[in-house]
Amino acid sequence: MWSHGNFHWNELMTRDVARAKTFYADAIGWGFDAMPMAEGTYWVAKAGDKPVGGMFEMKGPQSEGVPENWMAYLAVDDIDARLKKARAGGAAVMREPFDVPGVGRIAILREPGGAHIGWMTPAT
């Protein structure tokens, strides 16, 4: 079960998925399941049978000059209503809300200090 305001998910944005999968499999013991998406394959990292994070390949002009990074996601009760409050508080929405079937409704924003973070209303 998820709770509003708690960190809910983390994902690695990487240019070399194979290298990252090998590193985390060897160093941490994670396994990976492929989840095909329109933008490419999303890899769900698992500790045993439990999903613990994700991994996605950085590619395209929007990734130029951006270092590999881990993106954190906060669970929020109503992504659309919370984004209105975030905008009013000075945040910039980098990616408008989108739905991932079985996962939830997600948006990416830059908070007033400049840090990027994902917010999501997880699927029930």
Q: What tens digit of pLDDT does each residue of 5-40 get? A: 999 999 999 999 999 999 999 999 999 999 998 888
Could you list the residue range(s) of the whole structural domain that residue 16 is in?
Answer: 1-70
Same domain, 66 and 17: yes
Dump pLDDT digits (tens) for 72-96: 999 999 999 999 999 999 999 999 9
DSSP-derived letter for residue 62 is: G
* 60 pLDDT above the threshold of 90: no
**Number of domains, the chain:** 2
Concatenating the DSSP letter of every residue in 67-100 gives PPEEEEEEE-S-HHHHHHHHHHTT-EEEEEEEEE
Is 97 in contact with 107 (CB distance < 8 Å)? yes
Same domain, 37 and 83: no
For residue 44, give the CATH number of its domain.
Answer: 3.10.180.10
